[in-house]
């Protein structure tokens, strides 16, 4: 008998294989044609605005999640798209999504896509319902058509961002080390969710550049497991000592600390499944050399994950940590021989981007 883990791994694998068989060209025709997706969604500036804009949806969702959006839209609905049902005192019922609401009035985009405004005094009730306004396409389209749509949506990644000049200066690294272990950081950053959504297989070889106090390091060690290995790189020995102490506290034995140089993380070549650079990229004084070295250290199918604090989320008024937008990060990493694979939306505080090696 097969062990249970194998069976479920096999079951999980099947939909991925089927969806890969979808035809994106046919999906595009369905999207623009008979499915009527553009009635509610915009793409490249065209279409309706009841639902979210889909220009970069392929970066934001996995194929499984895109499929779910089509066959069971109510399974995952973001707060701003909950269905609002307003009933006027005269008994007229209007369904839509809320555009704006204050004490006296509410603006709704109705299912036809038209904005409507109501004074609350004129309404008998306003309710938010935990369901999507999007109809399920499970019965309207064949399984093959759903595959085609998923294949098409998965390729929607937006235009490659322009490569700008480097807009930030290397920060005074680790000026506030205690901040890295601040109380409440887990709730703000959800590090366990971040690491688990990277789906690092047991036995993986992983590196973290800028390991600091080991905040992510021990979690990577947990994910890679005893048969895997984590290289924790930092340019300061006292940080590596902190990393080692944190890893020891959590009782992992699969971490090797590496004293890196400003332009060289000193990693083995062609050996790594994943490199994580969390809150450290903006501090690199020679990012080009570092990225070239990271690229060399990765296996052909290896991934680079960059986490940076997002613009608009300072830690109090004295915080001077440079912030990088998704496009700024892409604009620096992609020219160094990488391709964007995913943008993970874990917390709004972070921009978390997953890259693969380009030209494999």
Residues binding ligand HEC (CB under 6 A): 31, 35-37, 39-41, 50-52, 57, 61, 66, 69-70, 73, 77, 81, 97, 111, 132-135, 137, 149, 153
Distance CA 279, CA 322 (A): 10
Nearer to ligand HEC among residue 223 and residue 343 (C-beta): 343
Distance CA 113, CA 92 (A): 17
Provide, rounded to whole angstroms, the least separation between the CB of residue 246 and ligand HEC. 35
Nearer to ligand HEC among residue 51 and residue 287 (C-beta): 51
Residue pair 305/341 in contact by the 8 Å Cβ criterion: no
Distance CA 329, CA 281 (A): 9
Provide, rounded to whole angstroms, the least separation between the CB of residue 292 and ligand HEC. 35
Provide, rounded to whole angstroms, the least separation between the CB of residue 133 and ligand HEC. 4
Nearer to ligand HEC among residue 58 and residue 260 (C-beta): 58
Tokens 């494999």 belong to which residue? 360
Nearer to ligand HEC among residue 66 and residue 230 (C-beta): 66
Residue pair 285/170 in contact by the 8 Å Cβ criterion: yes
- Look at the alpha carbons of 116, 120, 126, 128 in this order and tell me if their dihedral is positive or negative: positive
Residue pair 321/314 in contact by the 8 Å Cβ criterion: yes
Dihedral Cα 197, 200, 201, 205, nearest 10 deg: 180
Distance CA 46, CA 69 (A): 21
Closest CA to 279 of 226, 230, 347, 338: 347
Provide, rounded to whole angstroms, the least separation between the CB of residue 137 and ligand HEC. 5
Nearer to ligand HEC among residue 78 and residue 318 (C-beta): 78
Provide, rounded to whole angstroms, the least separation between the CB of residue 308 and ligand HEC. 22
Distance CA 66, CA 57 (A): 8
CA atoms within 13 A on the CB side of 220: 28
Nearer to ligand HEC among residue 49 and residue 196 (C-beta): 49
CA atoms within 13 A on the CB side of 70: 30
Distance CA 66, CA 16 (A): 12
Provide, rounded to whole angstroms, the least separation between the CB of residue 197 and ligand HEC. 15
Nearer to ligand HEC among residue 153 and residue 267 (C-beta): 153
Provide, rounded to whole angstroms, the least separation between the CB of residue 339 and ligand HEC. 22
């Amino acid at each position: 008998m097969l062990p249970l883990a194998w069976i479920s791994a096999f079951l999980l694998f099947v939909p991925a294989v089927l969806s890969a068989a979808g035809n994106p060209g046919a999906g595009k025709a369905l999207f623009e044609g008979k499915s009527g997706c553009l009635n509610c969604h915009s793409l490249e500036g065209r279409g309706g605005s009841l639902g979210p804009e889909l220009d970069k949806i392929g970066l934001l969702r996995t194929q499984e999640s895109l499929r779910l959006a089509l066959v069971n839209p109510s399974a995952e609905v973001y707060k701003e798209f909950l269905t609002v049902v307003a009933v006027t005192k005269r008994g007229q019922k209007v369904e839509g999504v809320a555009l704006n609401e204050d004490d006296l009035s509410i603006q709704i985009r109705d299912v036809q896509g038209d904005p409507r405004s109501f004074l609350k005094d004129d309404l008998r009730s306003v309710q938010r319902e935990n369901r999507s306004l999007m109809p399920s396409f499970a019965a309207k389209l064949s399984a093959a058509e759903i595959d085609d749509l998923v294949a098409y949506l998965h390729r929607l990644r937006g235009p490659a961002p322009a490569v700008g000049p480097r807009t930030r200066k290397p920060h005074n690294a680790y000026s506030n080390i205690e901040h890295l272990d601040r109380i409440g950081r887990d709730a703000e950053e959800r590090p366990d969710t971040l690491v688990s959504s990277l789906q690092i297989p047991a036995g993986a070889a992983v590196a973290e550049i800028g390991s600091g106090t080991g905040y992510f390091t021990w979690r990577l060690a947990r994910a890679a497991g005893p048969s895997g290995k984590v290289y924790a790189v930092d340019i300061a020995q006292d940080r590596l000592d902190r990393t080692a102490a944190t890893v020891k506290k959590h009782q992992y034995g699969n971490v090797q600390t590496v004293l890196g140089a400003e332009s060289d993380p000193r990693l083995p070549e062609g050996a790594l499944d994943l490199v994580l650079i969390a809150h450290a990229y903006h501090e690199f004084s020679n990012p080009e050399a570092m990225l070239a070295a990271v690229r060399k250290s990765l296996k052909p199918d290896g991934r680079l994950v960059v986490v940076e604090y997002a613009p608009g989320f300072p830690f109090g008024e004295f915080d001077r940590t440079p912030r990088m937008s998704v496009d700024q990060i892409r604009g620096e990493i992609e020219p160094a021989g990488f391709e964007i694979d995913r943008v993970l939306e874990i917390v709004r505080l972070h921009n978390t981007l997953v890259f693969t090696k380009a030209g494999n």
